[in-house]
Chain A
Amino acid sequence: MSEIHLKIDGKEIVAKEGMTILEAAKSAGIPIPTLCHYEKLEPYGACRICTVEMEAQGRKQLVASCVYPVEPNAVVTTRSEVIDEVRKMILELLLAHAPDAPALQDLAKEYGANEGRFEKEPSFCILCGLCVRYCAEVKKKDAVAFVDQGPKREICFVPEVASKECWNCKECFPLCPTSYLQAAYVLTEGLVGFKTS
C-alpha cells in the first residue's frame, strides 16, 4: 500500500493509502472529537462532529474525518472558527434531546455550546447507531435496528430476536453515550414481556 503525505494542523504526516483523516490524525496524536465512532465498527459518518477543513486539488471543503480518505498533499485543519461553529451547533442540536449525557456535556464545555438554545425534546437518543451497528457487525444478530426516517427516526428492539439473544449479551449497553439504550431495552422487555433469566 502506497504512502500518502499530508499536513494536519501544520504537522507533516505520512499515512497509508486507504486510511481516513481521523486515523491519520490519531496516529499523529492529534485529537478530533467523535460521538458515533468506535474502532471495532465501520466508520459511520452520522454525527458530523469530527468535521474538519480539508484543502486538496485546489478545493477547500468541510469533510467528516472519520470517513474521508487521506489525499496526497492535502492540508487539513482540525480547529478553526468555522469548524468550531459547526461543532457547537451540532452539540446544541443534540443537547435538545439528551441534555444530561456526559459525552455531550464535556464537549459542550469545550465548544461553549448553549444547552438551552433549542427547545428540549427529550428523546434521550442521539441516534449515533453504535448499538445497532455493534449488534449487526460484531454480534451479527440484528436484535436492534433503526426504524422510520428523518426526524421520526428511532432505535427499536426486534422483540422476536431480542427475547432470544439479548438477555445474556447486553454488550452494546456500555457503548451508549446517553444510557438511553438500557432504558429502551427495559421498556421493550416490559412491554413485550420477555424473560431475562
Chain B
Amino acid sequence: MTKINSPAELEEYRKILKSKIDPNRRWISLCSGSACNAARSAEVAAAIETELEKEGLSGLVDFKRTGCHGFCEKGPIVDIHPEKICYLNVAASDVSEIISETVKENRIIDRLLYTDPSTGEKIAHEDDIPFYKYQGRIIFSSNSKVDPKYIDDYIAVDGYSALAKALFEMNPDQVVDTVKEAGLRGRGGAGFPTGKKWEIARANPGDTKYVIVNADEGDPGAYMDRSVLEGNPHAVLEGLVIGAYAIGAHQGYIYVRQEYPLAVENVNIAIKQAEEAGFLGKNILGSGFDFTVEVAQGAGAFVCGEETALLRSLEGKPGEPKARPPFPAQSGLWGKPTNINNVETWANIPMIINNGASFFNSIGTKGSAGTKIFSLVGKVNNTGLVEVPMGITLRDIIFKVGGGIPNGKKFKAVQTGGPSGGCIPSEHLDRGVDFDELAKVGAIMGSGGMIVMDEDTCMVDMAKYFLVFLSEESCGKCVPCREGIRQMLNILTNITKGNGKESDIEVLEKLCKTTGSASLCALGKTAPSPVLSTLRYFRDEYEAHIRDKRCPAYSCKSLISYYIDPEKCQACMTCGKKCPAEAIVGGKNQIHVIDQEKCTKCGTCFEVCPSRFRAVKKISGEPVPTPIPVEARKIVREGKQK
C-alpha cells in the first residue's frame, strides 16, 4: 500500500478501486465475526476457498470474509451476490453444493434459505427476510461488504472521504458545529450530546489533549461494539481522527476488552494499514495534521467502562473511578483534556461529515437522532444484532425483527440498559426506543443490550442476578456501592432461597435510595435500577417468594420441586438414565418416582421427558404429593389387537 498524500490522490485511488468492481459480478461474503466463528465459520471459509480453487473459480469469483452480518441465530451466514441470496446455518459440508448450484448455475438451494416460522414460506433474498427488512442498517451496512483486514474494501465504499473533507474543507469549529447540529448523542449509554462534549474539550486550554475509544463493552448480553470494531474498524478510526482534529488532540487510544481477541487483532491490522496509507501518523493526507493511535487492552473489569476508571487503567492503575468534577474534558488522562466516546459514537462520525447534519437528524426522533444498534438476545427467535432508527417501538423490534418468543411462550419483560437498566413489561411494548422514552418507565436504553424474557423467567432472580454481577464488578472503594450492594444481594439471596422476611422489601428500597444517591460513580448510582424496576412491575413475584415461599415462574431452585405425574408417566426410563443424582426410582413398566431427598433440582428430567408424555412437572409453594404406593406403579399395557 503506497502512501496517499492528498485528497486528490485518494479520489484517484478510489476511482481505480471502484473501476475494478463490476456491480454485476458474482461474489461471496461469509460472516466471520466472533459469533459465527464460534459456530465454525472458519471451516466454511476453508471449504469455500478449496472448492473455488477446485472449480477453477479462484480468480473469477471474489470471496470475502466479512464482519458480523447480524443474524447471529442463523450463523454461519453466506451471501451470494449480486442477487444477495442469503444462506443460513451453513456448514462446511454445504459448500460444494453452494458453489456448483448457486455460484455456477444460479440455482437456489431451498433448504439453506430462511423459512418463515408461521407460513413456511422460503425467502431467498436477504432484504426480504423480516429480520433485515424492518431494520435500518447504516453503520452496519458495510459489515457484509467489507473484509476488515483489507483497507481497500473500506476505501472502495467511500472510506476516509469524510476525513479528507474534514481536514481540507472544514475547520475544527465547523466539524464540532456539524456534530452538534446532527444531534448525535453518546451511544455508550449516558447519551451525552457528542458535539457539546467535543466543544468543551476543544475549549479547554492545552497543547496536549487525548481522544479515546471506549471499547470496554461490559454489559453482559451486549456485543454491538465488538461487532463494529471487528467488522469495520476503519469507520471507528476515521471517526477518531476527525474528532481529534476537531478537538486538537494528536494522540489517541483504543481501550478494548481483552475478552475480544478478534477485535484487538482486526483493529491492530487496521491501524497498521491506515498508517501505511497515510491516514494516520504525520501530515495526514498532506494536511499538516498529525495523529497516532495505540491499542490498550482491558484486564477484565466491567467498571473500566466508566470513563474515569478507564483513564486510571490506561495510566496503569486499578480501575477505581475518580470524583467528578473535574470532568475528563478538563482534566483526564495524565491530567490533560481528554475526550472519551463509545465505539458506535465514533463510527457515526464519518457518515455525519459526509452526508451532513440534516441527513443524520432526519432519522430517529427529535431528541434522539440517528440509528441505534441493539443486541437482541434471550428468549427471542431471531437472536442477533439489529440496527434500527431511534423511535421504533419495542414491539416492532421484538416481534417484527425478532420474530417473537420461541416455543409458544408468552413475553414477560425485556431488559434494557444492562446492570444499569431496568425490566420493561408488556404494557409498555408500544413505547418508542430512544434516550428519553424508556427513562420514563424506569429503564434506560443503555448501550444496546436488549434481553427478552418469557413466562419462565423469575424477575426476583433477575434482580439477584444483576446484583451478583455488580458485586463482582464493584471496585469496592465507596461504602454505598460496596456495602449497599452486599446487603441488597444478601436480602435477595434469602428471598430466592425461601428465607425472605416481610420487612425485606422496605429495607431493599431504603438501600436503593442510599446507593443510588450517594455512590461515587455511575456503577453504584445505577445499581438499584434492576431492583427498583422489578419491584415496580413485578412486586407480586417478590411477595409470593416472601409470603408463600413460591416462585411463580417455577425457576428458583430452593422453591421448586420436580414431580413425575403418575397419570402421564409411561415408564420409558429416559429420565432415570439421565438423572445425575440417581434420584429416580422405577424401571420398565414401573411408574417413575423422584426421590426428593436425592433430587438436586438440576431439571434434567424435565428437559428429557419426551414431549408426547410431558410427565415431569414443577411444583412451587405447595408440598409434593406423596408417591403412589409401589404396587400401584405397575403399568399394564394393552396387548396389540390383531
Does chain A bind chain B? yes
Q: Which of A47, A85, A94, A118 contacts B513 (CB 8 A)?
A: A85
| B490 interface contact, C-beta 8 A | yes
Q: A45 near B514 (CB under 8 angstroms)? A: no
- Given contact pairs A85-B513, A119-B490, A127-B482, A90 touches B518 in the complex (Cβ within 8 A): yes
Interface size in chain A (residues, C-beta < 8 A): 32
Sampled A-B contacts (11; CB under 8 Å): A64-B323, A64-B520, A86-B480, A90-B480, A93-B487, A119-B490, A126-B479, A146-B476, A150-B475, A150-B482, A151-B485
A148 to B476, CA, bound (A): 9
A95 to B575, CA, bound (A): 50
Report chain A residues within 8 Å CB of B471. Answer: 150-151
| A89 interface contact, C-beta 8 A | yes
| A67 interface contact, C-beta 8 A | yes
| A178 interface contact, C-beta 8 A | no
Q: B517 near A62 (CB under 8 angstroms)? A: yes
A127 to B480, CA, bound (A): 12
Which residues of B does A touch, CB under 8 Å? Answer: 301, 318, 323, 325-326, 471-480, 482-487, 490, 507, 510-511, 513-514, 517-520
Q: B517 near A86 (CB under 8 angstroms)? A: yes
- Other contacts beyond A62-B518, A90-B518, A149-B301: 13, CB < 8 A: A45-B323, A48-B478, A64-B323, A89-B513, A93-B483, A93-B484, A94-B483, A127-B477, A127-B482, A146-B476, A148-B476, A149-B474, A149-B475
A118 to B490, CA, bound (A): 10
Report chain B residues within 8 Å CB of A89. Answer: 480, 484, 510-511, 513-514
| A46 interface contact, C-beta 8 A | yes
A127 to B520, CA, bound (A): 15
A39 to B478, CA, bound (A): 19
Q: Distance (Å) between the CB of B272 and the closest chain A CB?
A: 35
| A153 interface contact, C-beta 8 A | yes
Q: A85 near B520 (CB under 8 angstroms)? A: no
| Chain A to chain B: the 3 pairs with minimum beta-carbon distance, closest first | A153-B476, A93-B483, A150-B474
Report chain A residues within 8 Å CB of B325. Answer: 68-69
Report chain B residues within 8 Å CB of A93. Answer: 479-480, 483-484, 486-487
Q: Distance (Å) between the CB of B266 and the closest chain A CB?
A: 30
| A51 interface contact, C-beta 8 A | yes
Q: Distance (Å) between the CB of A95 and the closest chain B CB?
A: 10
Q: B478 near A150 (CB under 8 angstroms)? A: no
A67 to B185, CA, bound (A): 29
Report chain B residues within 8 Å CB of A119. Answer: 490
| A152 interface contact, C-beta 8 A | yes
Report chain A residues within 8 Å CB of B511. Answer: 89
A18 to B295, CA, bound (A): 34
A85 to B484, CA, bound (A): 14
Q: Which of B476, B479, B485, B514 contacts A152 (CB 8 A)?
A: B476
Q: Which of A47, A68, A86 contacts B514 (CB 8 A)?
A: A86
Q: A127 near B514 (CB under 8 angstroms)? A: no
Q: B518 near A48 (CB under 8 angstroms)? A: yes
Q: A151 near B482 (CB under 8 angstroms)? A: yes
